[in-house]
Amino acid sequence: MLQVAVNEDEPVESRRRRVAGLVRDQAGADLVVLPELWTTGAFAYEEFDGGAEPLRGPTLEAMAKAASDAGVWLHAGSVPERAPDGTLYNTSLVLSPSGDLAAAYRKIHRFGFDKGEAVLMGAGDALVTVRLPHTTLGVATCYDLRFPELFRGLVDAGAETLVVPAGWPERRRDHWTLLARARAVENQAFVLACGTAGTHAGVEQAGHSMVVDPWGEVLAEAGSGEQVLTVDFDPTTVAGTRERFPALKDRVLGLDRPRR
């Protein structure tokens, strides 16, 4: 995972080049993951409009080239996408080792309550999973981490590895680490939670990207600065965990409304 520092003093184009270089350096990895809105910064609301790009824009182009140069699967984090009708979305991109767009996920839960992303961007309305050679990814973005039903939907769709790019603030770091572990334990899945470092729009970022296993153990955790976090894990252990401790099988469905 590449915990990218997002600071205003670095022009977006330079950061894009720098991140492409970091991706290329990961040749030999199976999967590389980038954070949320690492071009503009997740809290730089004034930059969303100017920094928006079409789905197949400069970030996808640069990351597709980097993924194919390195021969890796790349979850390229998210970009502010401008859809053909003009609506902005917070859209995550998953690229194959040949640089093809394997999946795009528009963030469903927008952050900001009645301002920021929540008013500037449209909401996605579709869950996205991606089949990789060794695992099925379920993708979610940042604030989505607070909504367990989204993750359960991904698990029901076959996800074994839940990938969460984020731009999570330092002041709520405890929630980030707690929720990443909770989503892993309750879904008996790996969680790859990749945040940003640095400070933008006056919001210090938490960093502390984590890889959590299906038992809730933290396999690796970054510090608060820019960092490459490299982890070896075996995604086939998900099936064993779910068999040995079959909590997912004990679900009682249909409890979403009180009975009268």
Q: Which of 165, 167, 195, 207 binds ligand LYUYDEPV (CB under 6 A)?
A: 167
- Closest CB to ligand LYUYDEPV among residues 99, 122: 122
Any catalytic annotation for residue 142? Answer: yes
Question: Taking the C-alpha atoms of 251, 238, 215 and 95 in order, what is their torsion angle to the nearest 10 degrees?
Answer: -110
User: 103-122: which residues touch ligand LYUYDEPV (CB under 6 A)?
Assistant: 111
Any catalytic annotation for residue 115? Answer: no
Any catalytic annotation for residue 107? Answer: yes
Catalytic residue among 47, 81, 107, 194: 107
Would you count residue 142 as binding ligand LYUYDEPV (CB under 6 A)? yes
Q: 13: which DSSP letter?
A: H
Would you count residue 146 as binding ligand LYUYDEPV (CB under 6 A)? yes
Q: Which of 143, 151, 190, 233 binds ligand LYUYDEPV (CB under 6 A)?
A: 143
% helix, strand, coil for the chain, step of 5: 30, 25, 45
Would you count residue 77 as binding ligand LYUYDEPV (CB under 6 A)? no
- Using the contact rule CB under 6 A, the part of the chain among 66-74, 150-158, 167-175, 228-236 near ligand LYUYDEPV is 167-175
Q: Which two tokens stand for residue 69?
A: 């140069």
- Using the contact rule CB under 6 A, the part of the chain among 20-28, 78-86, 162-170, 214-222 near ligand LYUYDEPV is 162-170
Q: Shortest CA distance to 130 belongs to which of 155, 159, 156, 87?
A: 159
DSSP 146-166: G-HHHHHHHHHTT-SEEEEE-
Residue-wise burial string across 24-55, b where 16 or more C-beta atoms lie within 10 A, e elsewhere: bebeebebbbbbbbbbbbbbbbebbeebbbeb
Would you count residue 168 as binding ligand LYUYDEPV (CB under 6 A)? yes
Catalytic residue among 47, 81, 117, 142: 142
DSSP 31-85: EEE--TTTTT-TT-GGGHHHH-B-TTSHHHHHHHHHHHHHT-EEEEEEEEEE-TT
| Active site positions, annotated | 36, 107, 142
**Contact positions vs ligand LYUYDEPV (CB under 6 A):** 36, 42, 111, 142-143, 146, 167-169, 172, 175
